[in-house]
Structure 1
Amino acid sequence: MAEPFDVIVLGSGPGGYVAAIRAAQLGLKTAIVERELLGGVCLNWGCIPTKALLRSAEVLNLMRHAKDFGLSVAGAIEADLEAVVKRSRGVAKQLNQGVGHLMKKNGIAVFMGEGRLEGPGTVRVTAKGEDSVLNAAHVIVATGARPRDLPAAPPDGQRIWNYRHAMTPPEMPSRLLVIGSGAIGVEFASFYNDMGAEVTIVEMLDRIAPVEDDDISDFLAQALTRQGIVIEAGAKVEAIDVRGDGVSATIRDSAGDARTSECSHVITAIGIVANTQGIGIDDLVDFDGGCIAIDPYGRTRTPGLWAIGDCTPGPWLAHKASHEGVTAAEAIAQELGRSGADPHPLDRSNIPGCTYCHPQIAAVGMTERAARESGREIRVGKFPFIGNGKAIALGEPQGFVKTIFDAANGELLGAHMIGAEVTEMIQGFVVGRQLETTETELMQAIFPHPTISESMHESVLAAYGRALHI
């Protein structure tokens, strides 16, 4: 007989496990199905372990600049790639175990195996050749996504890597070609450059980090170039020839000229593909660009079937998935008549984005270009880190904060940052936008001194001609 639940969550990434926890908190009998590791890609192979790698690279970079801080380091400064990767995997393992603890704490039944819907409300789980059938009034699909392969360069784990291979490399690349300059591509380019590889980034669009504000993209290109990374924007990799000891790539540049680039390894970072195949949903949902179409609460067109996270339309970010998980769980609890549920529709315009390269990037809301194209009259403020005492004291004077306001009503339309610690600062503007804050409240807010966050205040002042330190 099928085991009954109120909610079954298919996938245990940052959307799935958070949805399961919130459902359990609301008194729903909840099960979660996971085919590989609790925590999904983000915790085990994405967000968390990559940040551990980048932290090691950051420390290495600081050690190389010890003299700038009045310090001396005895002996040669070397990177042990095997040890760096081992630390990263240890961090992922610790957090994977933490998710398991959270499942037990909240009384969530965990089924390890391949899950497939056999109609609305029924999930078959296959593990080691044995099947279990689960039933629930509601099912949340949180199956995530996988790397998009480049037809000319299918990953082999040896010379051509996707992000998963790049986190557990079989060897240190000497000359690395990174195809794609979104967050994943730029982060790995930054990491391997700091670790000592010669790195080239190829981006098909006319600028790297193309989703960012133009000023951010320009500043990042200059910063990475100073660090020794070669950037080819408006270029395309047309062919790749893998040899025993390396890779030969044919690159056509923005002028239409083709050349051959020799490298030891290639990382492809050209986006993701939603994991929607083979899970029994084809006749139950509509699709939007290969993703599961949902309403702002996560509902699909089939009653009782929900979807969240990277298998739904973007942005494809862990924090967006977690937020969607809470929203869907609360909407389900409300439908089931449980108290304490207060679902709010997802506001995609207020989802922050962060990239953890060196320098870091963080943003929320409209770019300046998008704001101007919307037909609004705008005010733009920009404050450089060179005018911030804390940034100078940290030895991180390169960067800036940029804010964009509606000139008519003072609405904060967007905020964009590049430099040290900006991924920790952007939440201030996210909260401000959530509370519908205007420039007046931001100007009157008192920012602590000395902090890099004072640059946020100064950028607002600059938008209205009142900056104090430039």
Structure 2
Amino acid sequence: MSNSYDVIVLGSGPGGYVAAIRCAQLGLKTAIVERELLGGICLNWGCIPTKALLRSAEILHYAQHAKDYGLKIAGEIEADLEAVVKRSRGVAKQLNQGVTHLMKKNKITVHMGEGQLTGPTSLTVKGEKGEEKLTAKHVIVATGARARDLPFAKADGKRVWTYRHAMTPPEMPKKLLVIGSGAIGIEFASFYNDMGCDVTVVEMLDRIVPVEDKDVSAFLEKSLTKQGMTIMTGAGVEDIKVSDKGVKAKIKAKDGKVSETEFTHCITAIGIVPNTENVGLEKLVEMDRGFIQIDGYGRTKSKGLWAIGDCTPGPWLAHKASHEGVTCAEAIAKELGNKDVHPHPLDRNNIPGCTYCHPQIASVGLTEAKAKEAGYTVKAGTFPFIGNGKAIALGEAEGFVKTVFDAKTGELLGAHMVGAEVTEMIQGFVVGKTLETTEAELMNTVFPHPTISESMHESVLASYGRALHI
């Protein structure tokens, strides 16, 4: 079998395997190189298995509050951590097998092993078949990223965890320190809190989930605190001492006071590091803090070499990587003579963000503060779930939807939600932004009743002083 292809994709995460499938659909002879598991981090150790864990915690929460719904459950409700983790790993395994099937279905050749570029369009793979030399007309780098370690407390999998350790815990933490309140940190904080653990979150910035609208951050902090979590903002962990029994953390609070607190375990969620070392990229691409610099289609400075996903500038989200994969594949097909594809460069303003804590968070576009910083005169409106019949019926009346518009043109600049099922609802506003909608189209859209999505409509009306149910 020839080891020469039209396209080789290095990495099989949600960017890489989707790029490979789209290349194959466009009639390109395609190969994928993967050193560990098809599906990458997201499918095997990230997005999907964490949602399985969070679903178990959600069911536990509802069972413990059954009386709020007029129900009685006999006996004590307990979490079986081993069974919860087993279910999560089963979900990941099923999806891994699904990607394997998709590779076969689309006649994509899979080379399992460690890939290293020897030029813009050539690489060697060291793996199960020894060393293979591969060449292609185009190569897509989709090597992803990994968790960033604390310099003074590297993750050991026993007491100091990254997200990967937190998904297959050897034991249930009794007292957990979570460092960082981005999506990963706050999701695991929410999971372990619902599972009965005493959780403390430390965030260096002045509010949790700092990329979100400040109203969302304030609401979430209040909600998590009410659930029993300790939230420390404007604070920093200055040192950690690890022992067989746990970790002792030196934490500097917002007021400057430093205290030492003991925890059984610690999760570090302080960002990511791109997997761009030892790949042969140094002379082939431009990098900024290790992230490969690309244009809107994924091109690097070397002809024939492309990059997508978490090894490129953010946001570092699976759906952004998948979208980049399709765009990149179509741009390559166009360069190879396909006149039927018309790729569009990535618009980062239209990429939604979802955080699956309890309550959920979802957003797209500019926050109210960012819109004002960008020079817009804004109209912003908020509608609380307490004014929504479906949310009340579900027993999920805590939350709100906020929309931000350009006061001059009516353009939808951003949408921000916190509450039940908002990660499913945000796509309505994403479609609206992609279609360049204004408040007029959204006001004239008929939303089904009774649904929580009616809060989306009401938030638009609220932006213009026309809300009906508050």
Q: TM-score range by the shorter chain?
A: over 0.9
Is residue 2:285 matched to residue 1:285? yes
Q: What is aligned with 2:36?
A: 36
Is residue 2:107 matched to residue 1:107? yes
Q: What is aligned with 2:367?
A: 367
Q: What is aligned with 1:125?
A: 125
Q: Within 2, Cα distance between the matches of 1:388 and 1:238?
A: 44
Is residue 2:453 matched to residue 1:456? no
Give the 3-state SS of the residue equivalent to 2:331 in structure 1: helix
Q: What is aligned with 1:240?
A: 240
Letter aligned with residue 428 of structure 1? G
| Counterparts of residues 51-450 of structure 1 (less than 5 Å) | 51-128=51-128, 130-450=130-450
Q: Within 2, Cα distance between the matches of 1:303 and 1:328?
A: 13
Q: Within 2, Cα distance between the matches of 1:150 and 1:38?
A: 28
Post-superposition offset of 1:2: 6.3
Q: Within 1, Cα distance between the matches of 2:382 and 2:157?
A: 43
Post-superposition offset of 1:45: 0.1
Give the 3-state SS of the residue equivalent to 2:116 in structure 1: strand
Contact 1:352 1:365 in 2 (8 A): yes
Letter aligned with residue 168 of structure 2? T
Q: Within 2, Cα distance between the matches of 1:346 and 1:79?
A: 43
The TM-score with structure 2 as length reference comes to 0.99
Post-superposition offset of 1:129: 7.3
Cα 1:108/1:129, change in 2 over 3 Å: closer
Q: Within 1, Cα distance between the matches of 2:131 and 2:256?
A: 55
Give the 3-state SS of the residue equivalent to 1:324 in structure 2: helix
Q: Sequence identity, in percent?
A: 73
Runs ≥4 residues deviating over 6 A: none
Letter aligned with residue 182 of structure 1? G
Post-superposition offset of 1:462: 0.4
Contact 2:124 2:132 in 1 (8 A): yes
Q: Within 2, Cα distance between the matches of 1:227 and 1:346?
A: 39
Contact 1:2 1:133 in 2 (8 A): no
Post-superposition offset of 1:342: 1.6
Please list every run of 5 or more consecutive structure 2 residues that lacks an aligned counterpart in the other structure: none
Superposed CA deviations along residues 138-192 of structure 1, whole A, max 9, x for unmatched, are 0000000000001121000000000000000000000000000000000000000
Contact 1:291 1:311 in 2 (8 A): yes
Post-superposition offset of 1:289: 2.9
Q: What is aligned with 2:27?
A: 27
Superposed CA deviations along residues 177-226 of structure 1, whole A, max 9, x for unmatched, are 00000000000000000001000000011111000000000000000000
Q: Within 1, Cα distance between the matches of 2:114 and 2:138?
A: 18
Letter aligned with residue 207 of structure 1? R
Q: Within 2, Cα distance between the matches of 1:123 and 1:393?
A: 58
**Comparing 96-105 with 286-295, which one deviates more in the overlay?**
286-295
Give the 3-state SS of the residue equivalent to 1:320 in structure 2: helix
Letter aligned with residue 270 of structure 1? I
Q: Aligned pairs, how many?
A: 470
Post-superposition offset of 1:288: 2.1
Q: Within 2, Cα distance between the matches of 1:44 and 1:230?
A: 30
Q: Within 1, Cα distance between the matches of 2:467 and 2:143?
A: 47
Letter aligned with residue 440 of structure 2? T
Letter aligned with residue 223 of structure 2? A
Q: Within 1, Cα distance between the matches of 2:376 and 2:348?
A: 20
Post-superposition offset of 1:366: 0.4
Post-superposition offset of 1:13: 0.1
Contact 2:334 2:341 in 1 (8 A): yes
Post-superposition offset of 1:373: 1.4
Superposed CA deviations along residues 328-347 of structure 1, whole A, max 9, x for unmatched, are 00000000002432211000
Letter aligned with residue 215 of structure 2? D
Give the 3-state SS of the residue equivalent to 1:321 in structure 2: helix
Q: Within 2, Cα distance between the matches of 1:129 and 1:156?
A: 32
Q: Within 1, Cα distance between the matches of 2:404 and 2:28?
A: 43
Contact 2:37 2:44 in 1 (8 A): yes
Q: Within 1, Cα distance between the matches of 2:351 and 2:287?
A: 22
Contact 1:360 1:420 in 2 (8 A): yes
Contact 2:150 2:268 in 1 (8 A): yes
Q: Within 1, Cα distance between the matches of 2:2 and 2:160?
A: 44
Q: Within 1, Cα distance between the matches of 2:239 and 2:335?
A: 53
Contact 2:138 2:304 in 1 (8 A): yes
Q: Within 2, Cα distance between the matches of 1:350 and 1:69?
A: 38
Q: Within 1, Cα distance between the matches of 2:135 and 2:332?
A: 15
Q: What is aligned with 1:13?
A: 13
The TM-score with structure 1 as length reference comes to 0.99
Superposed CA deviations along residues 218-237 of structure 1, whole A, max 9, x for unmatched, are 00000000000000000000
Contact 2:112 2:128 in 1 (8 A): no
Q: Within 2, Cα distance between the matches of 1:198 and 1:357?
A: 16
**Comparing 299-308 with 279-288, which one deviates more in the overlay?**
279-288
Contact 2:33 2:110 in 1 (8 A): yes
Q: Within 1, Cα distance between the matches of 2:120 and 2:464?
A: 55
Q: CA RMSD in A?
A: 0.9
Is residue 2:20 matched to residue 1:3? no
Give the 3-state SS of the residue equivalent to 1:403 in structure 2: strand
Letter aligned with residue 259 of structure 1? S
Letter aligned with residue 273 of structure 1? V
Contact 2:180 2:203 in 1 (8 A): yes
Post-superposition offset of 1:128: 4.2
Q: Within 2, Cα distance between the matches of 1:70 and 1:116?
A: 60
Q: Within 2, Cα distance between the matches of 1:153 and 1:390?
A: 46
Post-superposition offset of 1:375: 2.0
Letter aligned with residue 423 of structure 2? T
